[in-house]
Structure 1
């Protein structure tokens, strides 16, 4: 147990440090948002390229991992949506956002940081590229398409939203980094030593800066009477998602055990940091904000248990 806490405690201490620094106004929340921009646009893309460069394409993009993680996430999304629709008796849009909260991880900030400390930088940088693909190109568009259709916006805005989504994806630094990594791996283009050292320096900064930024951005979020919904979605995310992911991985016996563990660790991370922003479109920003705050706090316990189980 001491060994596990030695891994998880520094992660959540960094999150807590970011929260306290913003709470005491030592650092402004705008500064931590700038740190988040640095991670998303510079440091994390560098880590992704580092994990895919100078490797065969089959190692850089594991199709079995990609298929298994996507299948598990879709299963959890459907289960979460059905439970909220038929048990909690809420609308389709709210149910879709609940399913998204249970099935999509904060891969770029929390997941990759935990995985890097538990399994090492190399499997973390390989896995984060594939989990980001699943979240940005499958889970988020799926959830928002269902929610829009439920509000009568599906047919009217489909072409416009498709165009906007494609433009957003084309400009995403993370997806651009994945494309560069696939290009380097596919054509076996080696990166020179100087470039690798620069990329390594940037990649090392990704995890601590990301965790500090997560803590800073959590300040100001309030449950506001949403504890019941926040707890249900958080437990679905932190317990059901990694459990279903582990079960689906059993259907792929040829999958690398290290990547199998990496997938479970990523699934055990709390929900997307942009979850409240996505929920705002449907008037659910308070519930999504409360869920993000509670899920991040509870993940200290659930992530520790997950690491103990995979160890």
Structure 2
């Protein structure tokens, strides 16, 4: 257990450092926007490109893993929407962000740092596949349902699909993944100057991203909806990994490393931009509270889950 905590603690300590820096005024909250954009547009795409371009393509697209992770995430998404609709007595379309909060993990920022240290570089393809699931399946599905509810009768399905598709295509993280897959498939070797530049960008991604997460959490306020926030947190930290575990029992057996990666990724807190996405649709306050509660609780649930399933760091 101590070996596991020694791996996970630095990740959460960086989050706490960012939280403290913003709360004390050492770093202005306005600076977090620049940090987040740097990670989103440069560091994280470079990091994912590096992780993918240096591995064989067959290790990066594993149909069995995609079946498990996509199926588990969609199941958690459906449970989140159904539970929220029943509890709030509102339309399922009005609860799309409850589904997203339960089924879309922080794979790029926390997941990469955790998986690389606990399971090693051979499992980084799982991070890319998880991000593809979130960017290409969960996020578009959420936005489509939310837009249909917001513009009831105003916009057709075709127009809504077009708007959401444009948002997905413009995502720089997706471009980093696509470029990495192309270079892996074609065995492309980049010029040394370009490769070193990408290495420098990639090396900064984890620390800056985790620091920015902490700073973002420092700006959240829990004014209301703590009960709903706790419900979303329980769903994200318990239902999502349980759904993926169910899929692992139903699907053909995966490599043990990929199975462990799927469970770890599903057990992460939700994506940091969850409140930003939800604000536009009137769910920002509860989404911010859920992000804060889930991230705090995840230190306990992740460490306990890793210990319970016998996942040990290398060496």
TM superposition score normalised by structure 2: 0.91
- What is the aligned partner in structure 2 of residue 62 from structure 1? 62
- Number of residue pairs the alignment of both structures matches: 310
- What is the aligned partner in structure 1 of residue 165 from structure 2? 166
CA deviations over 1:224-265 (Å, ceiling 9, x no partner):
121100000001001111121122123344422212211211
Corresponding residue SS for 2:201: helix
- TM-aligned CA distance change 1:157 to 1:213, over 3 Å: farther
Within 2, Cα distance between the matches of 1:277 and 1:56? Answer: 36
Q: Is the 8 A contact 1:145 1:154 kept in 2?
A: no
Q: Is the 8 A contact 1:103 1:237 kept in 2?
A: yes
- What is the aligned partner in structure 1 of residue 215 from structure 2? 216
Q: Is the 8 A contact 2:147 2:160 kept in 1?
A: no
TM superposition score normalised by structure 1: 0.92
Q: How much is the aligned-residue C-alpha RMSD, in angstroms?
A: 2.0
**Deviation of the 1:192 alpha carbon:** 5.1
- TM-aligned CA distance change 1:7 to 1:55, over 3 Å: closer
1:251-290 equivalence runs, <5 A: 251-290=250-289
**Deviation of the 1:7 alpha carbon:** 1.4
1:175-254 equivalence runs, <5 A: 175-191=174-190, 195-254=194-253
- What is the aligned partner in structure 2 of residue 102 from structure 1? 102
Within 1, Cα distance between the matches of 2:245 and 2:254? Answer: 12
CA deviations over 1:253-292 (Å, ceiling 9, x no partner):
4422212211211111111211112212221111111111
Within 1, Cα distance between the matches of 2:167 and 2:288? Answer: 23
Within 2, Cα distance between the matches of 1:13 and 1:196? Answer: 30
Specify every segment of 5 or more residues in structure 1 that has no aligned partner in the other structure, as ranges: none
Within 1, Cα distance between the matches of 2:251 and 2:196? Answer: 35
- What is the aligned partner in structure 1 of residue 11 from structure 2? 11
Moved more, 25-34 or 222-231: 25-34
- TM-aligned CA distance change 1:154 to 1:108, over 3 Å: farther
**Deviation of the 1:57 alpha carbon:** 1.8
Q: Is the 8 A contact 2:52 2:60 kept in 1?
A: yes
